[in-house]
Amino acid sequence: MTTTERAARQHQERARSGWRVVLRKETADLWLSAKGLSVLLAFSIALSVLAYLASGDAAINLLDARESVGVVVKTAIGLGTLTAVVVSADAISGERERGTLEALLVTPVARRDIVTGKLLAASTMWLAALVVALPFVVVMADGPRVGLDAVLVLVISGGLVAAALTALGLAISSFVMSNRASLAASISILLMLAAPSQLPAITKSATLGPVLIKANPVSAGLTLADNVLVKQQEWTEQWIYLLSPILATIALTAAAILLARRLQLGDAR
């Protein structure tokens, strides 16, 4: 093997493992700093208040027990996704604003590896939110005996919604120069996508309403939670509601990684 070939192989090996180094560092930064735990604490407090109120309502029959589980699962999906989006929307634009991006870009690590590492690190936020949400869901689902369904909805539907929106936040963070704009855009999109599932009367009365609900990954994921946990529909009938979250996860992850090639410092000229 010639020196040039050896150097080329070294470069390839570095390119392959670069995302792991970025992932390790970003995950450590997230969880060894106060950031990750603070966001998670806020998430757990919000979920605690909601779960307590929903349980109280269910205890006096103001809310059906299944419905109370549905409310908590949907909130865990929505807020858990929000925590991951807050991290991913800051991932690139935050580095850009703090002046740390240039030093990262001049290393041999490929930009897609930087983005991949950051995407996976931001996803740990969702995983942590999932772990925090599980005890709430398990305790609440014990009454109506929907524990397994609730956990499956949280893991599958929530996981897909969170993955799609985390990738979206990172993609926005890659090309939006201001960190504030990146966070505002990502959170606004999440809220807009979640809104239709909270307005059933409007969306169901329109002819295209049900189609739009299914096409929108967030509302599809939340509707699936309702269907399985509240309306007691079979899982086999729900595949249509998983379609758009799966497609959105694939498309947005690909977009985030492809956009990495065009990653700009932002202050050139």
Partner 1 sequence: MTDEPTPALALECVDLHVRYGTFMAVDGVSLVARPGEILGLLGPNGAGKTSVVRAITTIVPVTSGTILVNGHDLTDPVAIRTSIGVLPESNGYPGIQTAKAHLTFYAELFGLDPREARRQAEHRLRQLGLDDKSQPIGTFSRGMRQRLGLARALINRPAVLLLDEPTLGLDPAGREDLLRQLASSAVEEGTCVILCSHQLDEVERVCDRVAVMDHGRIVADGTVDHVVAGSGVTQRARIRVALGDVLAADEVLRALPAVSAVEYDNARPGDIDVELAPVDGARSQLLKVLLDARIEPRAFDFQRAALSDAFLALTSRGRETE
Partner 2 sequence: MSRLAALLIALLTAALLAISGSASAHAAGATRSPGTRSIDVRVDPRDASVKLGETLPLHVTLTNNGAEATPELVLHLDVTDPTKSTSVDPEDWTSTLTKQVGAIPPGDTRVVEWIVQPISSGDFVAYAVALTPRSRTIAASNAATIRVEHQQTLNPHGILGVALGVPAALGALLLVQQWMARRPRNSDQR
- Minimum separation from the CB atom of position 31 to partner 2 (A): 9
Task: By CB under 8 A, name the one of 38, 48, 100, 232 that touches partner 1.
Answer: 100
> How many C-beta neighbours within 10 Å does residue 266 have?
15
Q: Which is nearer to partner 1, 16 or 204 (CB)?
A: 16
Segment contacting partner 1 by CB under 8 A, of 2-10, 51-59, 202-210, 227-235? 2-10
Segment contacting partner 1 by CB under 8 A, of 50-58, 94-102, 161-169, 197-205? 94-102
HSE toward the beta carbon, residue 144, CA cutoff 13 A: 23
Q: Which residues make up the interface to partner 2 (CB under 8 A)? A: 32, 34, 37-38, 40-41, 44-45, 47-49, 51-52, 55-56, 58-62, 65, 132, 135-136, 139-140, 142-143
Q: Which residues contact 116 (CB under 8 A, 6 or more apart)?
A: 19, 22, 23, 257
Task: By CB under 8 A, name the one of 1, 9, 14, 126 that touches partner 1.
Answer: 14
Q: Say whether residue 13 binds partner 1 (CB under 8 A).
A: yes
Tokens of 87: 């991290």
**Cα-based angle 165, 170, 174 (whole degrees, multiple of 5):** 145
Question: d(Cα 184, Cα 79) in Å, to the nearest integer?
Answer: 15
**Cβ(177)–Cβ(95) below 8 Å:** no
- Minimum separation from the CB atom of position 47 to partner 2 (A): 8
**Cβ(210)–Cβ(204) below 8 Å:** yes
Tokens of 244: 């758009």
Instruction: List residues binding partner 1 (CB under 8 A).
Output: 3-4, 7-8, 10-11, 13-15, 17-18, 21-22, 25, 29, 32-33, 95, 98-100, 102-110, 265, 267-269
